Structure 1
Amino acid sequence: MMRLDPYLNFNGNTEEVFNFYKKVFKNDFTSLMRFGDMPGGEKMSPGDRTKILHVALPVGDNVLMGTDALDSMNQKISAGDNFSISITLDDEAEATRIFDALSERGDVIMPLGKEFWSDLFGICKDPFGIQWMINFRPKQK
């Protein structure tokens, strides 16, 4: 299985944006996590803890996802860098192959590694400037 979904980044107003999309697409979030919910989140400033770490909104057969970019984490976004294409795979070797192929002659932003939400996750930019997020999640048995 391979799934592609858009992932949007905003400068602190993700909650406002996604509440708007929620009304437009007449659907509810399937996931909403705040930075304060992640491991170590309690050490963040009160304002950063309330910002959106991840939100997911089903739109038809796809999922529109988003996050807040935080100044405190040195995250800066600008037009053209405020979105990614997220790929979720259930084959670890294929996830690694795709990540390596996309990042060849591009940039590795976050190397593939285990995260609390995914068995394997990484972010890269391809040679043409498109940002990709690769997730590996094994099939549920």
Structure 2
Amino acid sequence: MLNIYLTFDGNAKAAFDFYKSVFGGEFSEFATFAEAPADMNVPDSYKNRVMHVSLAIGDSTLMASDHVPGCGPALVKGNDFAISITGKSKDHCDTLFAKLSEGGEVKMPLDETFWGAYFGMWTDQFGINWMINYQLPQD
């Protein structure tokens, strides 16, 4: 499944409150950087920014976060979105990641994350930002 992932500069909550008013529904996920692990070293002034928000719209999901300096690439108009793939397995993620990142630039290698997923980010050889996420089974 492909979805769009947007990046904002501090106004993700306002944007998603607006999108929710237009499309209806509820946020399926909402977390701020205050909930991030301490080793991310998020400055106090950024802890109220959105770390992740998801809103189902029909069969798709619109997702976003606010940018925090030092967490991912610098935010520049034009790189403020990515195509997000929902992986079917770790092997599926490995295959797609290897093929789609060939000739591009890996931003975050595939690895298990604190939110219980296998996740990676890259920019492909054509300058398009991608991310892949596979939610790991609960033990």
TM-score relative to the length of structure 2: 0.90
Which stretch shifts more, 104-113 or 44-53?
Answer: 44-53
Displacement of 1:41? 7.5
Give ranges in structure 1 of 5+ residues lacking alignment: none
**Counterpart Cα distance in 1 of 2:41 and 2:131:** 26
Aligned residue for 1:67, secondary structure, equals: strand
Give ranges in structure 2 of 5+ residues lacking alignment: none
Q: For residue 14 of structure 2, what is the aligned residue in structure 1?
A: 16
Aligned residue for 1:71, secondary structure, equals: coil
Q: Is the alpha carbon distance of 1:44 and 1:139 closer, same or farther for their aligned partners in structure 2, counting shifts above 3 Å?
A: closer
1:99-138 aligned within 5 A: 99-138=97-136
Displacement of 1:90? 2.2
Q: Is the alpha carbon distance of 1:79 and 1:92 closer, same or farther for their aligned partners in structure 2, counting shifts above 3 Å?
A: same
**Counterpart Cα distance in 2 of 1:134 and 1:26:** 26
- Kindly report the root-mean-square deviation, in angstroms, between the aligned alpha carbons of the 2 structures: 2.1
The AA in structure 1 aligned to 2:128 is I
Displacement of 1:118? 3.6
Which stretch shifts more, 72-81 or 95-104?
Answer: 72-81
Displacement of 1:71? 2.8
User: After superposition, what is the alpha-carbon deviation per residue over 1:21-67, rounded to whole angstroms, capped at 9, x for unaligned?
Assistant: 11011121011011011211795333311110000001011110000
Aligned residue for 2:77, secondary structure, equals: coil
**Counterpart Cα distance in 1 of 2:54 and 2:100:** 24
**Counterpart Cα distance in 1 of 2:83 and 2:70:** 24
Which stretch shifts more, 12-21 or 129-138?
Answer: 129-138
- How many pairs were matched up? 139
**Counterpart Cα distance in 1 of 2:136 and 2:51:** 22
1:1-141 aligned within 5 A: 3-40=1-38, 44-71=42-69, 73=71, 75-138=73-136
**Counterpart Cα distance in 2 of 1:78 and 1:88:** 25
Q: Is the alpha carbon distance of 1:138 and 1:39 closer, same or farther for their aligned partners in structure 2, counting shifts above 3 Å?
A: closer
Aligned residue for 1:98, secondary structure, equals: helix
